[in-house]
Structure 1
Amino acid sequence: MTGQEIKEQDLQYNLHSWSKQGNLNPIPVEKSDGIYFWDYAGKRYADMSSQLVNLNLGHGNRQIVEAIKQQADQFCFMGPGYAVESRSRLAKMVIDLLPDNMGKVFFTNAGADANENAIKMARMFTGRNKIFSRYRSYHGSTFGAGNLTGEPRRYPLEPGIPGFVKFFDPYIYREPIEFAGEEAATAFYIAKLREQVHYEGPDNIAAIVLETVTGSNGVIIPPKGYLKGVRKICDDYGIMMICDEVMAGFGRTGKMFAFEHFDVKPDIVTFAKGITCGYVPLGGVAVAKKIAAYFDDHTLLCGLTYSAHPLACAAGVATLNYYKEAHILEQVEKTGKVLGQILEEIKTRHACVGDVRYIGLFSAVELVKDKTTKEPLVAYGQDPQGVMSGIIKQLTAKGFVTYSHENMILVAPPLIITEAQLREMMAILDEVLTDMDQVITTRKTA
């Protein structure tokens, strides 16, 4: 098929997620390699969002591909009730990467059902029903994970499941309070969370769920002491602390898991994306030893036909090996510093950039109409003029592919990106933001 034929058939028969179907113009992809992919006209694009922040090791990693082939030659599928080498090896590898309080893994198909099963386990273990999660969060779009989600993509699921309670994030940039420092902000947010826990009844709360670093909703990095404060609340009331590491895990922030930056030990960790980098779908729930022990004589009421799929587990084993052998964490630490420096320069240089937030190779550029008032470039959850989609189209036309959410542009390239590649691509972002500066200036003087 030609690229045009592929696109026409795609639009005729496929429904695309999170989109008005009549406005779509998907790129027909012919090949990919490293941080790049190409369309059928030969145009090259740099994958500056790692697709959906899951392709951590880039396109065409031969080590992962060969592992999938070897497993396929042995057998492609065996039900989750059987012991299979790839799933046994991967489970141990995951637990070995986690803190010493963690005990076992339940593998899922992706991040949404990882979060679904995590909240089920927390409820079964504690005997409680309420689940806390944050407004600026995305945990998946299935019914349970969608109720866990705080941002507007939860709306089609409402009225939702009873027992899901939302609280506000430590989003210091948009907070009208002028804090003396990060510690002061932490004290404020933790006090408000503790107060809310009190009014919801601590004995009713099974878990507090957080994206360790908020992902698509702005790469919001917790201030100093915040996660320790949440951990203390959980310890005080017997609440399970669940860290959603679906997007932030497996090297994205420069650590294997983002919570390692903040010196806390969760009770439950959910993961997906970077464990196989999308080569085969896989997610999982890692639980503390005390939770694993509970299910020794209590039935685990969780089950999936494709839980711990052999092909996915084989891909996972190869992926985790590659992170170590290729010294990916060290590379992210180095290139992440370069990305941070470039972003700070962009923030200083551009009138349309209100804030930049980054940790490792996980970053967001927040666009505003006015740096002083911090008024967002587009209203919360609204962009009737297609301003943000227009910026993304400009970037794509220049070979820089990513996505936006609200008034933020995500920059999260594959962890294998070189400094030279990073600088080349960020120069494109700089150029497009210069155009947006001119638009803002024109509007102010009109």
Structure 2
Amino acid sequence: MENLTELDKRHFIHPTSSIQQQQRDGAKVIMEKGEGIYLTDTNGNVYIDAMSSLWNVNIGHGREELAEVAAQQLKKLAFSSAFSTFSHEPAIKLAEKIASISPAGLNAVFFTSGGSESNDSAIKLVRHYWKIQGKQDRRKIIALKRGYHGVAAASTSVTGIPEFWGMAGHMMTDFTHAETPYGGNTEKAIASLRQVIEEEGPENIAAILAEPVQGAGGVLIPPADYFKEVRKLCDEYEILFIADEIITGFGRTGKMFGMENWGVTPDMMTFAKGVTSGYIPLGGVVVSDHIHNVLKEKSKGTLFHGFTYSGHPTAAALALKNIEIIEQENLIENSREMGEKLLEGFQKIKENLEIVGDVRTIGLLGAVELVQNPATNKRFAPDLNVAPRVIEALHERGVICRPVTFGGTDIICFAPPIVIDNKQVNTLVEKLYDSVLSVQKQIGVPS
């Protein structure tokens, strides 16, 4: 039998990867197993999974409890459709559980298979909400530059990172983007939102969609007052507010959901990733009581939207167990405490290395920016590939992480499993220090 690398080249088209690089070099790593915050490849190399793979393995790898629950459910009822008002116990109980932990007033759940489907569903639901009230012109969605919302048709179009539009272009219309609060200027960012609303016409706007923290954009944590002002703006113009909690949900930011950090309640909330800690695909949309009531009162006939695996019973059973673990093991508090510890480590690195600019965390979601001059925030020339070099140095030291270079930035993002402990945080910080120092020397900056 051919080895895995050759089979990978021949048959596996990788998502968000360089096809040419894969064909030239083969898979960068072939993983074999995971335990806690660690992944082990087929050569026996062990890595700290400092990104929870794709921001999603919140409770860590190798949790036998989830495997056992999945096995039990597979034996009992592996799958049953939720179309045509058919139902089953796991989806009902999960919907109830998610309603109980969501911000007050969000009590009804539409299930999907993942984040892109969740954001596409939210967009369709808000447009339907306005249409059945006779306001079909309210179709436009305002999102933020540098925001990431997925790769399905609508979620690609609403994403505010131009690189994601290059493959197939904007696949849907009626999406526009306002300035991000990146850099800390709430007044400027809100003014941009207001300008877009006025230019497009409030009577044409269905919703504003935003991440509590822009993850793929570079872990951009907004100013403390930003989302309160967004909420005011939405209320002023009678626009719905959708919070994309796909990365920030289920303990990632030191709260169950990211928007709770600012005491702001959205009209809709999308989720995925951490709801099952990545053990099985699942996502969804939580809607407010008001929206749910309008849908119940004014929708006629069939709601022609749904996915084969909406409310998948095995996924729902596993999600219930995952949320139970997050609550019983106090992992939200651990996320907050270890996030503070991680920030302390980042700050020490900043004090000792010349090319480290802004550092930040909110729970176990964090970033380190690399700049040519921290005093002026002058960025490196893109061809230096500073962030990718640090990522490679981290990889050599047994840490898996990811860079963000959109818009000329050099940002290293972190989202380790929220089970990480104090000793493991220290190890991660030490490896980061060594990696940044090595790149600093490569590019000729004295230490």
Judge same fold: TM > 0.5, yes or no. Answer: yes
The Cα of 1:155 is off from its aligned counterpart by 2.6
Alignment match, 1:126: 130
Alignment check: 8 A CA contact 1:91 1:104 kept: yes
Runs (5+) with no aligned partner, structure 1: 173-181
Q: How does 1:93-172 map to 2 (within 5 A)?
A: 93-127=97-131, 128-151=138-161, 152-172=163-183
Question: Match for residue 56 of structure 2?
Answer: 54
Contact 1:245 1:257 in 2 (8 A): yes
Residue matched to 2:403: 404
Tell me the CA shift for residue 404 of structure 1.
Answer: 1.1
Q: Does the aligned pair in 2 maintain the 1:369–1:440 contact within 8 Å? A: no
Aligned to 1:31: 33
Q: Which residue of 2 aligns with 1:245?
A: 245
Q: Does 1:6 align with 2:8?
A: no
Q: CA RMSD in A?
A: 1.7
Which runs of 5 or more residues in structure 2 are unaligned? 132-137
In 1, Cα distance between the equivalents of 2:29 and 2:376?
Answer: 37
Q: Are 1:132 and 1:166, in contact at CA under 8 Å, matched by a contact in 2?
A: yes
User: What whole-Å deviation, never above 9, does each CA across 1:58-99 have from its counterpart, x for those lacking one?
Assistant: 101122111111100102110013221111110000010112
Question: Which residue of structure 2 lines up, in the alignment, with residue 21 of structure 1?
Answer: 19
Amino acid at match of 1:419: N
Residue matched to 1:417? 420
Q: What's the counterpart of residue 71 of structure 1?
A: 73
- More displaced, 50-59 or 431-440? 431-440
SS of the equivalent of 1:295 reads: helix
Structure 2: which amino acid aligns with 1:20? S
| Alignment-derived partner of residue 234 in structure 1 | 234
Change (3 A) 1:395 1:205: same
What amino acid is aligned across from residue 274 of structure 1 in structure 2? G
- Structure 1 residues 8 and 386, CA, compared in 2 at 3 Å: closer, same or farther? farther
Between 269-278 and 403-412, report the one with greater CA deviation. 403-412
1:91 is aligned to 2:95: yes
Q: CA deviation at 1:385?
A: 5.7
Q: Distance in 2 between matches of 1:192 and 1:305?
A: 39
Normalised to the residue count of structure 1, the TM-score between the two structures is: 0.92
Matches within 5 A, 1:1-400: 5-24=3-22, 25-81=27-83, 82-127=86-131, 128-151=138-161, 152-172=163-183, 185-296=185-296, 297-298=298-299, 299-379=302-382, 386-400=385-399
Structure 1 residues 277-322: Cα deviation after superposition (integer angstroms, max 9, x where no partner)? 1111000000001111122140533211111111110110001101
Find the residue that maps to 2:222 and give its secondary structure: coil
Q: CA deviation at 1:387?
A: 4.2
Partners of 2:50 and 2:416 within 8 A in 1: yes
Contact 2:178 2:189 survives alignment (8 Å):
no
CA contact 1:7–1:26 (8 Å) conserved in 2: no
The change in CA–CA distance for 1:160 and 1:28 in structure 2 (over 3 A counts) is closer
- Structure-2-length-normalised TM-score: 0.92
Contact preservation (8 Å) 1:122, 1:206 = yes
Structure 1 counterpart of 2:134 = none
Bigger Cα displacement from structure 2, 141-150 vs 13-22: 13-22
Report if aligned partners of 2:107, 2:289 keep a CA contact under 8 Å in 1: yes
Give distance in 2, aligned partners of 1:190 and 1:335. Answer: 32
Contact in 1 for aligned 2:386/2:439 (Cα 8 Å): no
Q: State the one-letter code of the partner of 1:165.
A: T
Per-residue CA deviations over 1:322-361 (Å, capped at 9, x if unaligned) read 1111111111121111011111111222212111121010
Aligned partners of 1:146 and 1:157 also within 8 Å: no
Q: Partners in 1 of 2:270 and 2:108 — Cα distance?
A: 12
CA contact (8 A) 2:118 2:283 kept: yes
Look up the equivalent residue of 2:349 and give its one-letter code: I
Alpha carbons 1:103, 1:286 under 8 Å: kept:
yes
Q: What's the CA shift for 1:224? A: 2.0
Change in Cα spacing, 1:159 to 1:95, as seen in structure 2 (3 Å) is closer
Q: CA offset at residue 57 of structure 1?
A: 0.7
Tell me, in whole angstroms, the C-alpha distance in 2 between the residues paired with 1:156 and 1:30: 31
Separation in 1 of the partners of 2:186 and 2:370? 25
Are the aligned partners of 1:147 and 1:157 in contact in 2 as well (CA < 8 Å)? no
3-state SS of the aligned residue for 1:343?
Answer: helix
- Which residue identity is paired with 1:101? G
Whether the 8 Å contact between 2:56 and 2:274 is mirrored in structure 1 is yes
> 1:378: Cα distance to partner?
4.9
Shift of 1:171: 0.9
Aligned-pair distance for 1:160? 4.1
Q: Does structure 2 retain, via aligned residues, the 8 Å contact 1:243–1:269?
A: yes
Q: Distance in 2 between matches of 1:399 and 1:154?
A: 33
d(CA) in 2 for partners of 1:32, 1:23 = 25
- Take 1:187 and 1:122, find their aligned partners in 2: how far apart are those partners? 27
1:373 Cα offset (Å): 3.5
Contact residue 389 and residue 439 of structure 2 kept, 8 A = no
Other structure's SS at 1:68 match: helix
SS of corresponding position for 2:166: helix
Per-residue deviation, residues 247-292 of structure 1 (Å, max 9, x unmatched): 0111000000010010111000000000001111000000001111
Match of 1:338, SS state, is helix
In 1, Cα distance between equivalents of 2:149 and 2:433: 31
Counting matched residue pairs gives 427
Counterparts of 1:427 and 1:88 in 2: how far apart (Å)? 45
* 384-393 or 275-284, larger mean C-alpha shift: 384-393
